[in-house]
């Protein structure tokens, strides 16, 4: 029976592809597609130019930057370009109040001035291989999900081990389309990465959170890093002896500029899309998940906002975290607007009706697919409250700083009750706890965290469905009559874990018998009960139901392919390299409103507002504007800044190079338009646009604003 998978594979391969903007292909698939459709739209490259394992190809110049952004190699000396917001935490980590690179920007004049980006990695893709047959070789149709999972995991482990024998590479096999296909990715990870250049926030994050996810945009969202390697050009830990990496391929930058309908290619690492969700899945997302998460984050942001205003030091410490929290909040808000406005549920329901009709047309299909959507419905019914419990737990537990700190004490407690652990060992552990305490309290602001605690615990009590409210919160109702202020006062007053002095005193005199003091601490006990509730009452069923949904989606995807043999359905994004084709395009977001496809420096000046965070313009940029001193990058006295295109991108595509038909870099992807943020669940070519900073603006800032000639000399720049 195992061959049903193989037959399916053959049927979905070798289709003629009819150009559609929503596709996101694995580069290795391009060989199987009929590229002439893309070529007739402006693609001048062959599949081999984009992905080749024998020759250097574009894929060798695209890297995964850290764990969730993309970057492009732009010089023979390992220079990479990515978004300012992708390098943000590294710029922050290298900044102090005296040397504030977020505020003032940073430009290394030579290699010696480049700053170590601790913890940052850059990953190159060596090769991709379709390993579906090997992975599914032991799977038969009579297996249940657990048996299937076991077989699949065993096969994957074997493939991964074999693939990198005697190399320094890493290997990962990932499922595609819910396990209908599997691909192997062999990669090389570099660990010595250094910060090379970044504009000030007033350029790199112009428009701040107000403009985030919004078009029209005026943001110079770019910065540069460099990859360092050992003398053999191989990855190595940071060392002063390392040298700039010599890449297999680097991308040429084009200052030619863009016009409407120009062909665009985005190559990068989109993290996650869910294009094949059913109406039931969308309903859970739009009625429960998005609204709960946005509500929690809104509250969290308002409290952070207030605290960050207190000093530059605090601002610096929280800037990157704030940007991350705000980014998710706004994205989910936009996504939900789009789901409603473009009736995503209705559209999915229509498709499901067609599917049911098609499934009932013959006996075999009816057997495989006839009951599928009913099963989705009943599974989502069970999943929805648990999913809600998960969202509340994960959003709240991470927002309250003291929770993370106190939960660290579990290790000490467990070890203290373990008779096999010696006194000496316990002493060693407590020494470590003392160091951790000093580190934690150096940056801990009790009154800020207390505010966060009170607001979020209240929401945790009031927000989710009663059936999944953690029992420990009921106690607050019983003992404190839902007065969260009094409860917060009580917890913070009576816990010794909120004071460095008390914690150190406790640790100084610690022995096995003192463990109960931690267990009885009101903060520790609350945190432990919330964790236990999640791990014992929520997570197991949640996992089980998610596995069930996955298995249903696997069958549904296969059915959708069978139902529409003329189409080749692309697999959802899963943080693997994808190529997306599109074109420079305007759009009509609202009745009577037309958005042009590009913005200019005039718009930066229009938006200038020193009373609003994110809308100050650096003096030097104003002078350049006044004198129209744009060098060769301006067009008839106008300086282009950003543009939009119809490429289907997702979170992770930040920092992806946007290339023209010849494969030259015409811009850097950094965002999506507000009206189209629902593209993760349904791409709609009428309103979904990716937002790109124009290569000409990047060059202008490097040249005229920063005077970083070293970078200009290093990159290959062409006017074509
Ligand atoms: N929305 C963009 C992305 O999803 C940019 C985020 C960073 N910018 C910000 N203002 N928070 O990642
Ligand atoms: N800003 C996003 C990121 O960090 C890219 C935009 C998107 O989500 O499409 O990856």
pLDDT per residue over 576-589, tens digit each?
A: 999 999 999 999 99
Which atom, in ligand 1's list, is nearest to the CA of 205? Answer: 10
Are 297 and 339 within 8 A, CB to CB? no
Q: What is the distance between the alpha carbons of residues 134 and 469, in angstroms, rounded to a whole number?
A: 44
Please state, for a pLDDT cut of 70, what percent of the chain lies above it.
Answer: 97
How many angstroms does the Cα of residue 331 sit away from the middle of ligand 2?
A: 10
Instruction: Choose the weakest-confidence range: 111-125, 249-263, 503-517.
Output: 503-517
How many angstroms does the Cα of residue 610 sit away from the middle of ligand 1?
A: 21
pLDDT of residue 12: 40
Cite the DSSP H helix spans in 77-185.
84-93, 101-104, 132-136, 145-163
Average pLDDT, the chain: 95
How many angstroms does the Cα of residue 612 sit away from the middle of ligand 1?
A: 18
Structure tokens at 449: 């965290």
Active site residue 111: no
Ligand nearest to the CA of 69: 2
- Nearest CA, atom 4, ligand 2: 654
Inter-residue long-range contacts of 610-615, CB under 8 Å, 24+ positions, other chains counted? 612/208, 612/210, 613/208, 613/209, 614/201, 614/205, 614/206, 614/207, 614/208, 614/209, 614/210, 614/211, 615/206, 615/207, 615/208, 615/210
pLDDT per residue over 354-371, tens digit each?
A: 999 999 999 999 999 999
pLDDT of residue 671: 98
Q: What is the distance between the alpha carbons of residues 563 and 686, in angstroms, rounded to a whole number?
A: 25
Angle at 393 between CA 392 and CA 397, to 5 degrees: 115
Ligand 2, pocket-test mutation among 649, 656, 689, most atoms within 8 A of CB: 649
How many angstroms does the Cα of residue 596 sit away from the middle of ligand 1?
A: 21
- Nearest CA, atom 10, ligand 1: 209
Which atom, in ligand 2's list, is nearest to the CA of 271? Answer: 10
Residue 193, pLDDT > 90, answer: yes
Domain ranges of the chain: 279-552
Ligand 2, pocket-test mutation among 326, 330, 652, most atoms within 8 A of CB: 652
399 by Cβ neighbours in 10 Å (0-12 / 13-18 / 19+) ranks as buried
- DSSP-derived 3-state class of residue 127: strand
pLDDT of residue 19: 54
Q: What is the distance between the alpha carbons of residues 640 and 257, in angstroms, rounded to a whole number?
A: 9
Angle at 675 between CA 669 and CA 678, to 5 degrees: 80
- Binning pLDDT at 50, 70 and 90, where does residue 512 land? confident
Ligand 1, pocket-test mutation among 212, 325, 333, 615, most atoms within 8 A of CB: 212
Given 57, 75, 85, 521, the catalytic residue: 85
pLDDT of residue 672: 98
Cβ neighbours around 153 below 10 Å, total: 12
Ligand nearest to the CA of 649: 2
- Binning pLDDT at 50, 70 and 90, where does residue 477 land? confident
Ligand nearest to the CA of 677: 2
Ligand nearest to the CA of 613: 1
Residue 6, pLDDT > 80, answer: no
- Nearest CA, atom 1, ligand 2: 671
Secondary element (H or E) of residue 453? helix 446-462
- Nearest CA, atom 7, ligand 1: 85
Which atom, in ligand 2's list, is nearest to the CA of 331? Answer: 8
Pocket residues for ligand 1 (CB within 6 Å)?
85, 205, 209, 212-213, 323, 326-327, 651, 654, 671
Ligand 2, pocket-test mutation among 326, 658, 669, most atoms within 8 A of CB: 669
Closest alpha carbon to 60 in 7, 128, 131:
128
- Give 8's contacts (C-beta < 8 A, 6+ positions apart): 180, 558, 561
How many angstroms does the Cα of residue 355 sit away from the middle of ligand 1?
A: 37
Structure tokens at 603: 């718009």
Pocket residues for ligand 2 (CB within 6 Å)?
69, 649-654, 670-672
Active site residue 85: yes
Cite the DSSP H helix spans in 585-637.
601-607, 619-626
Cite the DSSP H helix spans in 13-144.
36-41, 47-50, 84-93, 101-104, 132-136
**Dihedral (CA of 330, 333, 337, 342) sign:** positive
pLDDT of residue 3: 43
Helix 471-480 to helix 446-462 angle, to the nearest 10 degrees?
100
How many angstroms does the Cα of residue 40 sit away from the middle of ligand 2?
A: 29
Residue 195, pLDDT > 50, answer: yes
- Nearest CA, atom 2, ligand 1: 671
Q: What is the distance between the alpha carbons of residues 426 and 257, in angstroms, rounded to a whole number?
A: 65
pLDDT per residue over 289-321, tens digit each?
A: 999 999 999 999 999 999 999 999 999 999 999
Ligand nearest to the CA of 670: 2
Q: What is the distance between the alpha carbons of residues 203 and 225, in angstroms, rounded to a whole number?
A: 18
Given 21, 192, 221, 449, the catalytic residue: 221
- DSSP-derived 3-state class of residue 176: strand
Active site residue 13: no
Given 202, 495, 654, 673, the catalytic residue: 654
Are 578 and 25 within 8 A, CB to CB? yes
- Nearest CA, atom 8, ligand 2: 651
Cβ neighbours around 248 below 10 Å, total: 13
Residue 423, pLDDT > 70, answer: yes
Q: What is the pTM of this model?
A: 0.94
What does the pLDDT average to over 137-164? 96
pLDDT of residue 37: 87
pLDDT per residue over 626-684, tens digit each?
A: 999 999 999 999 999 999 999 999 999 999 999 999 999 999 999 999 999 999 999 99
DSSP one-letter string for 251-279:
PPEE-S---TT-EEEEEE------TT--H
Ligand 2, pocket-test mutation among 653, 655, 690, most atoms within 8 A of CB: 653
What does the pLDDT average to over 335-354? 97
Which atom, in ligand 1's list, is nearest to the CA of 207? Answer: 10
Which atom, in ligand 2's list, is nearest to the CA of 691? Answer: 6
What does the pLDDT average to over 502-531? 94
pLDDT per residue over 598-634, tens digit each?
A: 999 999 999 999 999 999 999 999 999 999 999 999 9
């Amino acid at each position: 029976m195992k061959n049903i998978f193989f037959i399916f594979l053959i049927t979905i391969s070798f289709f003629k592809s009819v150009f559609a903007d929503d596709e996101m292909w694995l580069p290795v698939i391009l060989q199987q597609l009929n590229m002439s459709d893309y070529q007739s739209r402006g693609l001048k490259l062959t599949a081999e130019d984009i992905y080749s394992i024998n020759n250097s190809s574009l894929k060798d110049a695209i890297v995964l930057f850290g764990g969730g952004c993309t970057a492009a190699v732009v010089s023979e000396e390992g220079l990479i370009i990515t978004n300012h917001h992708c390098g943000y935490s590294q710029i922050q980590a290298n900044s102090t109040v005296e040397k504030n690179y977020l505020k003032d920007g940073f430009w290394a004049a030579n290699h010696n001035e480049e700053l170590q980006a601790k913890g940052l990695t850059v990953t190159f893709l060596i090769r991709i291989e379709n390993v579906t047959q090997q992975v599914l070789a032991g799977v038969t149709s009579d297996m249940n999900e657990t048996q299937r999972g076991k077989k699949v995991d065993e096969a994957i482990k074997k493939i991964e081990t074999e693939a990198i024998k005697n190399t320094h590479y890493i290997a990962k096999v990932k499922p595609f389309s819910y396990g209908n296909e599997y691909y192997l990715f062999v990669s090389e990870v570099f660990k010595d990465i250094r910060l090379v250049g970044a504009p000030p926030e007033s350029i790199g994050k112009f428009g701040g959170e107000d403009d985030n996810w919004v078009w029209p945009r005026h943001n110079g969202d770019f910065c540069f890093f460099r990859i360092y390697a050992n003398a053999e050009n191989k990855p190595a830990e940071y060392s002063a002896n390392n040298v700039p990496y010599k890449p297999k391929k680097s991308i040429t930058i084009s200052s030619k500029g863009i016009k409407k309908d120009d062909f665009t290619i985005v190559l990068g690492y989109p993290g996650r899309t869910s294009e094949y969700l059913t109406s039931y899945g969308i309903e859970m997302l739009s009625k429960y998940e998005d609204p709960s998460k946005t509500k929690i984050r809104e509250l969290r942001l308002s409290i952070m906002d207030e605290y960050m205003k207190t000093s530059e030091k605090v601002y610096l410490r929280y800037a990157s975290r704030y940007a991350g929290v705000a980014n998710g909040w706004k994205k989910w808000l936009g996504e939900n607007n789009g789901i409603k406005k473009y009736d995503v549920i209705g559209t999915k329901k229509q498709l499901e009706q067609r599917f049911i009709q098609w499934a009932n047309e013959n006996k075999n299909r009816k057997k495989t697919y006839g009951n599928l959507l009913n099963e989705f419905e009943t599974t989502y019914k069970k999943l929805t409250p648990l999913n809600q419990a998960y969202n509340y737990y994960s959003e709240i537990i991470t927002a309250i700083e003291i929770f993370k700190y106190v939960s660290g004490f579990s290790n000490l407690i467990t070890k203290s009750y373990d008779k096999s652990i010696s006194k000496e060992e316990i002493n060693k552990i407590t020494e470590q706890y003392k160091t951790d305490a000093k580190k934690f309290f150096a940056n801990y602001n009790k009154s800020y965290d207390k505010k966060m605690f009170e607001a979020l615990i209240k929401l945790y009590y009031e927000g989710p469905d009663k059936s999944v409210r953690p029992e420990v919160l009921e106690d607050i109702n019983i003992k404190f009559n839902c007065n969260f202020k009094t409860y917060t006062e009580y917890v913070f007053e009576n816990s010794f874990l909120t004071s460095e002095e008390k914690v150190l005193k406790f640790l100084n005199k610690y022995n096995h018998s003192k463990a109960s003091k931690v267990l009885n601490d009101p903060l520790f006990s609350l945190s432990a009960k919330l964790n236990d509730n999640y791990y014992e009452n929520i997570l197991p069923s949640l996992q089980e139901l998610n596995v069930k949904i996955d298995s249903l989606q696997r069958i549904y995807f296969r059915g959708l392919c069978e139902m529409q043999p003329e189409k080749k359905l692309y697999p959802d994004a899963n943080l693997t390299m994808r190529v997306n084709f599109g074109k420079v395009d305007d759009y009509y977001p609202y009745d009577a409103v037309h958005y042009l496809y590009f913005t200019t420096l005039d718009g930066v000046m229009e938006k200038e507002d020193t009373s609003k965070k994110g809308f100050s313009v650096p003096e030097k940029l104003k002078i350049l504007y006044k004198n129209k001193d744009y060098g060769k990058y301006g067009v008839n006295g106008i300086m282009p800044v950003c543009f939009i295109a119809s490429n289907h991108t997702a979170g992770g595509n930040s920092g992806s190079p946007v290339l023209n038909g010849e494969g030259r870099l015409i811009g850097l992807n950094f965002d999506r338009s507000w009206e189209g943020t629902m593209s993760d669940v349904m791409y709609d070519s009428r309103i979904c646009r990716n937002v790109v900073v124009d290569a000409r603006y990047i060059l202008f800032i490097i040249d005229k604003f920063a005077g970083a000639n070293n970078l200009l000399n290093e990159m290959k720049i062409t006017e074509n």
